[in-house]
Structure 1
């Protein structure tokens, strides 16, 4: 009897301990904590930017509460009502949770509770979404990606009101809604969940966030490490651009944190999707920091997430808009909500870099958590300093050895070159090795097209990617890089392109007046080596800095080459004659050429061909070293586009036929200005008289730039040896030049 009593006591103690352990985790504990909320409450009315952000969110949420809760049966793509309604629901619920914690007003908790139980009632019998376009259909949304968005945000809302719910209510929500939801987007959709891709990052974070709220170790392990036995075949890459499965492949959140990021914080899919993925990366990392600090997720891979914020900010123009590398919608900027999160989290949990505060000032809003409070207090206390964007070289690839992206900046972003020599970039990559775009302040001078999609505009393919994204935007000829025999780089084959990357030859910005980047590509066209050298130069005899572009080609066969320049503006003048067809016809039949109208065709001028345009009140001239056998093509996007899905942008294209080894050499020169108010035109003519290739072989390329006053400057690049201490000697036009380092420039 005595033994039985002792056993009963032990069992009771064990039971009590289990109960205590299960209930010891306090809430909120994801992006908000009890101590953080208390500090916020103590500072209400004392921190202007935080107070303004709080009031703005309160007005938004109160307006939605007044309208009532609507959880319609899903039927639409991303542009339709049901999609937008469910999206707004999870955004408002997350904000309502923050308001409840800060203001302690019960109406916000009731609103979230009522919404969650409406979803609980719906989800038990909800089939997969009726729209069948996605490779992984969701239930609330047409793709699992958006279902994951919902769970990431709703996890935060649930966390905020967790302690207001009874155990029976929590059990009902967790058993009927949250766990089935997490199982569906993970076990139910392994092709979506178990790979390296921004889609999977959202899925992993969604499962992980709800796991932290529910204190569910099984789900948390699934989030961090993926599904062990997912039933997928070993080997290959799927058509949507994520790895399916390779022997020993890592998966889950930590693998997505490891593989797509370079040590510099560059995300291989490009800045547009890095911006999108940074929210789940950072918000789940913040949850892990608060609940599982021993995992040190913020410190993973030498603080790569926090480095990623700086990388993203450096991949913006003077207006804060992201460079449209790979798939990227133009106009997306650091004013987006995900970058508010990124800046606030990076400041508070990083080194509290005061330069980040200047970005937050421009954003004019902060998160309603301790990170947002920290940023707002720093601004209030006058700690903000300007965010300085200098020239930067960001490596690509997990170990930083798969090419990269260079950004050369002259002055206060007076002229900015974006040079891409990166890896393919998963499914959102384009076939454009050694491509570039050029900006003056925030204006495009030579543009990258970006993506062919009207995000969330239902009239355009349900707001999803359009067929022209494949037939045009991803193609080689859609970019400012070399096209050979009207074929795409790597034949447009994703699996081939994913195996290769360009190699950096040199990146040298030690002289702010002559900044040089050069890279090589040997796999885009078998048997052809491409080497592109680009120099941002400020010569005292020129009004503004200009760009020197040298595309060197070494090929074992004779080919037809085209070098396009997608200029932005109104044509002014040219020094070559051309003929315009009476009937516009496409330039070709495939690989993007089918979308280009030929509007004019002419022969190049001897030695130097020039083409000028006016854009955004600024003058520009493209001067190219040419021979009379070169053809100059005036093209415009829009052929074979019956739905008008493409912009009608124009390009000047240099065509060189029946050639093996050659170099395309050009200067893009900004000059002067025009005011439509004063109608004053200043310096509308180019300062270049001629551009000549003085020497060109496997070892060296030398280019002479002569201005209209007869003064000449010479640029020489060593094409093979990039050593900074290598001594070079080269005779050019009867004169011997000696220098140390990869390039030589004389004014």
Structure 2
């Protein structure tokens, strides 16, 4: 018996040393592998070595230091949550997440303990408050948060704050880390995931933020359960598959995969287009890209930047191509105008795409315009690239971006003039989840930063508390999402799919043709046969550059074919001052509303003309000292309406924007054919107007017995005739066609023909 005791003691000692060794290794891991999310230990060393030599990085760092120092001087502010977006507590906690992340970075780069102390003190205040917090007192969200009125903002907070925690991880003692993780980070992550499955387990930008928040803090704490939940979603949940969020979108389709990877698989097309539209793609790109950066740093074996054929890097290029010349995003679906690639999300996205996507020098030109960088390894790469003179220009050309996870659900087509000043965007996509609008085959058109024909965007004042707590206004549903709010066709004053999400989400438009091979004649064409029952729609838009016109013209051909008689409207939302029309119209002595539902209740009728004969109407207007003319083929009994947004809007939630509406009151089939000219200049200093008149004399549509073709001609005031023929059933470039028009035979190959005759 006595001989056994020493052996047992030896075994106990051996086990002790094993446990000690494991604990030592874990401690070593903590010491050696932080920071490891967006900053790395090697990156920190490299950055410190180059400080003072990389202007764009140094400027960003100096501005960040000034901002954070001011906040530290003001003290710690962790109020009890109570407000909606735009209120004090909301904005204070939002400011905290931004400052904490920046303070953590400053600690790493400047080695000044005051930043680590500040981060720790603020996190301790949150850890003391969080266990006592109920759900947020504001009850409007389908997934209420605790610090904010919705889980989405709680997730925003954790995405940023996890980076701050990573930066001070090694500064804290084991006991300090245990306190923060037990009282704040673990329960926070559990609340966002298992506690809010209707938020976490879905395909939507909301859940992307939730997935990334849980994944980022999981990476910091080396918590595999949280990391797996983030990547692959919860294993099971009790969500009603028919439950909807605040915007009317379904929370979760039955049997649908969830998690970060599923949110890469589903909303993104192979071209990097995000089905919700560029505004929400911009918003989601920050969590997508920073989590990918963190995964690449911590779990490089996942090869996240190669996932789905490198879709994340493609998504950055897609977003940059979805901007106007001034960098503002096209406001597809729910989108706030003015949002641009100068946003902090795109600063991060461009830096990360450059660093992990092959050091494309053209991205440096975007970074130079942004004039700031992410304060990490990727920002250093950008700064060094610019300093070393590697910058080349990012050139935006005509491009088609497919929609749908496999690229089969329509597209967005963008045509650009050679000088990139004129830009057409035509939308023939899927619904766009809950942020989608009912606007199949719609378009918007721009001259640099001027909206020639605009998309309204969303009806919301983001983070302005006085306007519905900064949330969506009811007019977003009654106006902005409705078809009449867009430049596309409306049947019987009813929105596409009856304005019903569950119907619209089942269908998408179909690409017919996209051809930008000839910069002087570019074509985009698409069809839709689901927007209205028993009605087929086909829109073709052509950008033509010719010496007859000062600048390229845009030709718009909207065909419709129904089994029964309907009223068809085609609106054009312009900006500017009407200069002239070639027809007389009636203006009412008092304003009257154009309709009573589906968005028409928000339109005032300001003028009207009913035509007795076939003719070409023309309206010229002036916007930002440039003239524009809309020339349109009109048939007898057609109407031309002048309308303005603002009816039934007692709280002035809508802009008072004007529009033209071409109406065909009773017909089964036909086409709206229009030409938009950009011409002339008015100089308010010299008070001289140059080329203020249209160069078009008229437009003619040819009568053709063969329904597989449509043909029209534009006759200029010089006497030249531009004739176009489109085959509407065959896009094969090798197919040959023969067609007789007014006794003349046209022979060509491919889907369309264009000839100019003097």
TM range (shorter): over 0.9
**Does the residue aligned with 1:330 lie in a helix, a strand or coil?**
coil
Q: Name the counterpart of 2:657.
A: 649
TM-fit CA distance, 1:11: 2.2
For residues 247 and 471 of structure 1, the distance between their equivalents in structure 2, rounded to whole angstroms, comes to 29
Cα distance in 2, alignment partners of residues 21 and 242 from structure 1: 48
- Kept in 1: contact 2:199–2:251 (CA 8 A): no
> 1:361 is paired with a residue of what secondary structure?
helix
Residue number among 695, 702, 707 corresponding to 1:687 in the alignment: 695
Give the equivalent residue in structure 2 for 1:55.
62
Distance 1:727 1:120 in 2: 73
Computed over aligned residues only, the root mean square deviation of the Cα atoms, in angstroms, reads 1.2
Once the two structures are TM-superposed, the CA of residue 413 in structure 1 deviates from its matched residue by: 1.6
Residue in structure 1 matched with residue 349 of structure 2 by the alignment: 342
Deviations 1:353-379 (A, max 9, x none): 110000000000011101001101111
Aligned-pair CA distance for 1:462 = 1.0
User: Relative to structure 1, is the Cα distance of residues 173 and 527 closer, same or farther in structure 2, using a 3 angstrom cutoff?
Assistant: same
Residue 572 and residue 81 in structure 1: after superposition, are their counterparts in 2 closer, same or farther (change >3 A)? same
Secondary structure, counterpart of 2:593 in structure 1: coil
Q: How does 1:113-192 map to 2 (within 5 A)?
A: 113-192=120-199
Q: Which runs of 4+ in 1 moved over 4 A?
A: 234-239
User: Equivalent of 2:647, from 639, 642, 651?
Assistant: 639
Q: Does 1:19 align with 2:60?
A: no
| Residue equivalent to 2:457 | 450
C-alpha displacement of 1:17: 4.5
Q: Secondary structure at the match of 2:530?
A: coil
Q: Which residue matches 1:499?
A: 506
Alpha carbons 1:620, 1:669 under 8 Å: kept: yes
Is the CA contact (8 Å cut-off) linking 1:197 and 1:242 kept in structure 2? Answer: no
Structure 1 residue 241, shift from structure 2 partner: 5.1
Q: How does 1:227-246 map to 2 (within 5 A)?
A: 227-234=234-241, 240=247, 242-246=249-253
Q: Cα 1:667–1:255, aligned 2, differ >3 Å: closer, same or farther?
A: same
In structure 2, C-alpha distance between the alignment counterparts of 1:13 and 1:304, rounded to whole Å = 47
Query: Aligned residue for 1:87?
Result: 94
Distance 1:426 1:32 in 2: 34
SS of alignment partner, residue 113 of structure 1: helix
Q: Within 2, Cα distance between the matches of 1:645 and 1:98?
A: 41
What pairs up with 1:64-79 in 2 under 5 angstroms? 64-79=71-86
**What is the aligned partner in structure 2 of residue 355 from structure 1?**
362
Deviation at 1:441, TM superposition (A): 1.3
Q: Aligned ranges for residues 379-394 of structure 1 at < 5 Å?
A: 379-394=386-401
Please name the residue that 1:628 is paired with: 636
Could you tell me how far 1:464 is from its partner in structure 2?
Answer: 0.9
Q: Tell me how far 1:447 sits from its aligned partner.
A: 0.3
What are the equivalent positions in structure 2 for 1:417-436 lying under 5 Å apart? 417-436=424-443
* SS in structure 2 at match of 1:134: coil
The aligned residue for residue 8 of structure 1 is 12
User: In the alignment, which of 555, 558, 561 is matched to residue 551 of structure 1?
Assistant: 558
Aligned with 2:674: secondary structure?
strand
Asked whether the equivalents of residues 241 and 426 of structure 1 are also in contact (C-alpha less than 8 Å), the reply is: no
Q: In the alignment, is the contact (CA less than 8 A) between 1:576 and 1:603 conserved in 2?
A: no
Q: Could you tell me which residue of structure 2 aligns to residue 715 of structure 1?
A: 724
When residues 242 and 597 of structure 1 are mapped into structure 2, their CA distance, relative to the original with a 3 A threshold, is closer
1:444-491 deviation line (CA, Å, top 9, x unaligned): 100000000011111111111100000000000000000000000000
- Deviations for 1:685-741, whole angstroms, at most 9, x for unmatched residues? 000000111145531111100001111110111101011111111111110101011
Confirm or deny: 8 A CA contact 1:196 1:242 kept in the other structure.
no
Q: Distance in 2 between matches of 1:637 and 1:243?
A: 30
Q: In structure 1, how many angstroms separate the alpha carbons of the residues matched to 2:578 and 2:658?
A: 10
The CA deviation string for residues 280-309 of structure 1, in whole angstroms up to 9 with x for no partner, is 000111111111111111111011000000
Shift of 1:186: 1.2
Instruction: Say if 2:555 and 2:673, in contact at 8 Å, map to a contact too.
Output: yes
Aligned to 1:251: 258
User: Which residue is equivalent to 2:713?
Assistant: 704
Q: Are the equivalent residues in 2 in contact too, given 1:597–1:636 (CA < 8 A)?
A: yes
Tell me how far apart the structure 2 counterparts of residues 4 and 95 of structure 1 sit (CA, whole Å).
Answer: 53
The answer on whether the counterparts of 2:250 and 2:434 sit within 8 Å (CA) in structure 1 is no
1:741 paired with 2:750, answer yes
Asked if structure 1 preserves the Cα contact closer than 8 Å seen for 2:142 and 2:246, the reply is no
Partners of 1:433 and 1:21 in 2: CA distance: 59
1:612 matched to 2:612? The reply is no
Secondary structure, aligned partner of 1:12: helix
Query: Structure 2 residue aligned with 1:202, among 197, 209, 215?
Result: 209
Match of 2:334 among 308, 327, 333: 327
Q: Which runs of no fewer than 5 residues in structure 2 stay unpaired? A: none
SS in 1 for 2:564: coil
Moved more, 296-305 or 477-486: 296-305
Deviations 1:408-441 (A, max 9, x none): 0012222110000000000110000000000011
Structure 1: where are the runs of 5+ without partners?
A: none
How far does residue 675 in structure 1 lie from its aligned partner after superposition?
A: 1.6
Q: Distance in 1 between matches of 2:156 and 2:743?
A: 67
Q: Distance in 2 between matches of 1:245 and 1:553?
A: 35
CA drift of 1:650 comes to 0.4
| Deviation at residue 18 of structure 1 after TM alignment | 3.3
Structure 1, 232-241 or 34-43: larger mean CA deviation: 232-241
Query: CA-to-partner distance for each residue in 1:516-537, whole Å, 9 max, x for gaps?
Result: 0100000000100000000011
Q: 1:437 pairs with 444, 447, 453, which one? A: 444
Instruction: Trace 1:531-546 onto structure 2 (pairs within 5 A).
Output: 531-546=538-553
> What is the aligned residue count?
747
Cα 1:417–1:695 shift into 2, 3 Å: farther
Following superposition, the deviation at residue 235 of structure 1 comes to 5.8
Structure 1 residue 572 and structure 2 residue 579: aligned?
A: yes
C-alpha spacing 1:159/1:117, structure 2 compared with 1 (3 Å): same
Determine the C-alpha separation between the residues in 1 that align with 2:18 and 2:408. 53
Q: Deviations over 1:620-666 (max 9, x none)?
A: 00000112311011000000000000000000001101100110000
Distance 1:10 1:609 in 2: 95
Shift of residue 173, structure 1, vs aligned partner: 0.4
Q: Secondary structure at the match of 1:325?
A: coil
Cα pair 1:236 1:246 within 8 Å, conserved: no
Render the CA deviation track for 1:108-155: whole Å, top value 9, x for unaligned.
Answer: 001100100011111110111111111111111111000000000000
Whether the aligned pair in 1 keeps the contact of 2:249 and 2:501 (CA below 8 Å) is no
Contact 2:536 2:561 in 1 (8 A): yes
For each residue in 1:187-240, what CA deviation from the matched residue of structure 2 results, as whole angstroms up to 9, or x when unmatched? Answer: 111111100000000000000000000000111111111111211134676564
Question: Residue by residue, what CA displacement relative to the aligned partner does 1:337-365 show, whole Å, maximum 9, x if unpaired?
Answer: 00000110000111111100000000000
**Preserved CA contact (<8 Å) 1:453 1:465:** yes
Q: What corresponds to 1:667 in structure 2? A: 675
Contact 1:698-1:720 within 8 A present in 2 as well: no
Residue 263, structure 1, aligned to residue 289, structure 2: no
